[in-house]
Amino acid sequence: MLFSIDVVFEQEYPRTDRAIDVAQAFGIALNTRIFRVLDAVKVDVEPGDVVYITGESGSGKSILLRTLAERISKHKIFGKVCIADNIKIDEDEVLVESIGSSTDDVLRLLSSVGLNDAYLFLRCYRELSDGQRYRYRVAKVLARESRYGVLVFDEFCSTLDRDTAKVVAYMLQKIARAKRKTLLIATAHDDLADDLKPDVLIRKGYGSRISIEYGRGKSIDRFTTKNCDCSSNIATSSSSSNSNSSDVKGEGYGSDHGCSLLKHVRIEKGCIDDWQMLEEYHYRGSRPYGIKHVFNATLKGEVVGIILYSMPAPSCRGRNIALGRVPSIEEVNRDFITISRVVVLPRFRSIGIAKMLVRHTMPLVGKRYVESIAVMGRYNPFFVKAGMREIVYEPDRKYVRVLKELGGYGFNGRLAASRDYCYSILQGMNDDTVEEVLNVVSKVRFAVSNAIGRSREYSTTALHDRHILAKAIANIAMLAQEKHYYIWENPELSVKV
């Protein structure tokens, strides 16, 4: 849809003594002057387009953005317009409590904008970094997306460092396109084209100077844009656009590819010291048992992600379902390995680093099967995107029964997956009551064995240590949840039938 935009301002000057002194010194008149900021600018925008307006500060980007949004709002085909700056956010609002219609809804929404950390879900807005605040504002906008067809962001990512800005730009356009929203963005920064992949790229110069380029194969020979000296790599006339229009699709700004930062990410062999650097960014934190392989994702020399491979559990219901049988312990030890941790630095989440870590390293561990059980996969499906098969199954009823029995001793089943929570409950009990809890926990050997440590001989005596008992109860609570199991078979190591 073609929009023609004219914006003219009248400037009146004061008649003060100092203003008259300036007029006299420079020989200028104090008459009202007319400034033409936008002179019959024609912009072709379709529903679902990403429009990126950039240029120098003070050149009129925001005026163009607001005027274009106002014109678009008059056409029902685009839907209602949402101005991101108009959304109110309380400094004390808790992320998980403030958006979405349910817990699942809010976690998926926050995860989609890269705020996918268990403890981050529980923070207040005032506790977030600038980058996290911007992501949360995007989440607030997306939470209202059912009511709006056009999302408008002025001064987009202007306060963020440029790597974070690229991550947010990539994430936002990906979500907007998936939901078929029209996205209008203005910023003085001109380094976001590779990540926004705009369908319409507008470079606004001072005065009426402007240039427009179209991506995704759009023809721009219907009109001629004004020349703008500030950008030589942007089409500025119908003649130049005709020669390039056939090459735009698949290669221009609207082409489909990953975040520009991924071009600089390298997957390398790591060590346990690298895990200790990133451990604090994983909600479980502690070092998993039996680590076999460590791989890093590095960006410009910085470790930005890590994946740990560990020994497989002796038994796993998801594995049995995937294979359609119960494998022997010899087969498990020979053919299986478990992804026990995947961590990406918060500022680089949502651009595909986790998927890259999984996909690129699975063939390197030398096992026929790679498996994982992950709660976060429910909200951020990077395992599936990396090529793993997902199996969702109900928990073993014995864990559900034991957890319910523990509820009689004051354990909240919804909180018991936290060892710290369980330990705090145990600390409030006398020794006789702790002994009763120990007897209940002893009914599920696997949870106890895992809490004690696989390298130690099984014995319930160790449960008299309340820290170990708390860990065993947390294991039971985890085992009583719905499970998301993931498995990948290495085609080069699969048995040919």
- Which of 141-150, 444-453, 483-492 is predicted with the least confidence, judged by mean pLDDT? 444-453
Instruction: Provide the 3-class DSSP secondary structure of residue 423.
Output: helix
Residue 247 is predicted with a pLDDT of 32
Which residue(s) pair with 339 in the sheet?
Answer: 309
Q: Domain total for the chain? A: 3
Q: pLDDT band at 457, cuts 50/70/90?
A: low
Q: Which residues of 33-58 are buried (b: 16+ CB within 10 A; e: fewer)?
A: eeeebbeebebbbeeebbbbbbbeee
Q: pLDDT band at 454, cuts 50/70/90?
A: low
**pLDDT digit string, tens, across residues 324-367:** 999 999 999 999 999 999 999 988 988 999 999 999 999 999 99
Strand order across the 291-299 sheet: 265-269, 291-299, 302-310, 336-344, 369-373, 483-489, 389-393
Same domain, 201 and 273: no
- Count the Cβ atoms, other than its own, within 10 Å of residue 257: 13
Same domain, 319 and 198: no
| Mean per-residue pLDDT, 46-53 | 96
- Residue 300 falls within a domain, yes or no? yes
**Residue 239: which CATH number?**
3.40.50.300
- Residue 114 falls within a domain, yes or no? no
Q: pLDDT band at 308, cuts 50/70/90?
A: very high
Same domain, 439 and 374: no
- pLDDT greater than 70 at residue 252: no
**pLDDT digit string, tens, across residues 270-301:** 999 999 888 888 866 567 889 999 999 999 89
Same domain, 222 and 287: no
From 245, 246, 186, 243, select the one nearest 210 (Cα to Cα): 186
Last residue of a domain, one of 248, 276, 299: 248
Same domain, 161 and 243: yes
| Mean per-residue pLDDT, 190-213 | 90
Same domain, 238 and 265: no
Same domain, 415 and 390: no
Last residue of a domain, one of 218, 248, 278: 248
Residue 34 is predicted with a pLDDT of 74
Calculate the alpha carbon distances from 272 to 22, 26, 48, 71, 294 in Å: 69, 70, 45, 57, 7
**pLDDT digit string, tens, across residues 214-245:** 986 454 443 334 444 443 333 333 333 333 33
- Residue 445 falls within a domain, yes or no? yes
Structural domain boundaries enclosing 76: 44-87+144-248
For 50, left (φ over 0), alpha (ψ -120 to 50), or beta?
Answer: beta
Calculate the average pLDDT of the chain. 85
Calculate the alpha carbon distances from 472 to 282, 285, 433, 451, 462 in Å: 20, 17, 16, 5, 11
Residue 431 is predicted with a pLDDT of 94
Residue 253 is predicted with a pLDDT of 41
- Which of 56-70, 113-127, 245-259, 266-280 is predicted with the least confidence, judged by mean pLDDT? 245-259
| Mean per-residue pLDDT, 418-435 | 94
Amino acid code (one letter) for 462: A
Residue 251 is predicted with a pLDDT of 36
Residue 108 is predicted with a pLDDT of 82
Q: pLDDT band at 250, cuts 50/70/90?
A: very low
Same domain, 365 and 474: no
Strand order across the 150-153 sheet: 81-83, 150-153, 182-187, 50-55, 200-204, 210-214
Same domain, 401 and 358: no
Residue 361 is predicted with a pLDDT of 98
- pLDDT greater than 80 at residue 171: yes
* Size of the chain, expressed as the number of residues it contains: 497
- Residue 94 falls within a domain, yes or no? no
- Residue 423 falls within a domain, yes or no? yes
Q: pLDDT band at 105, cuts 50/70/90?
A: confident
Which residue(s) pair with 213 in the sheet?
Answer: 201
Residue 158 is predicted with a pLDDT of 86
Same domain, 80 and 153: yes
| Mean per-residue pLDDT, 133-137 | 89
| Tokens read off for 207 | 């005065």
Q: Judging by DSSP bridges, how do beta strands 50-55 and 291-299 pair with one another?
A: unpaired
Residue 434 is predicted with a pLDDT of 94
Residue 159 is predicted with a pLDDT of 83
Same domain, 78 and 225: yes
Q: For residues 481 and 417, is the Cβ–Cβ distance under 8 A?
A: yes
- Residue 15 falls within a domain, yes or no? no
Same domain, 208 and 327: no
**Residue 329: which CATH number?**
3.40.630.30
- Residue 230 falls within a domain, yes or no? yes
Residue 233 is predicted with a pLDDT of 37
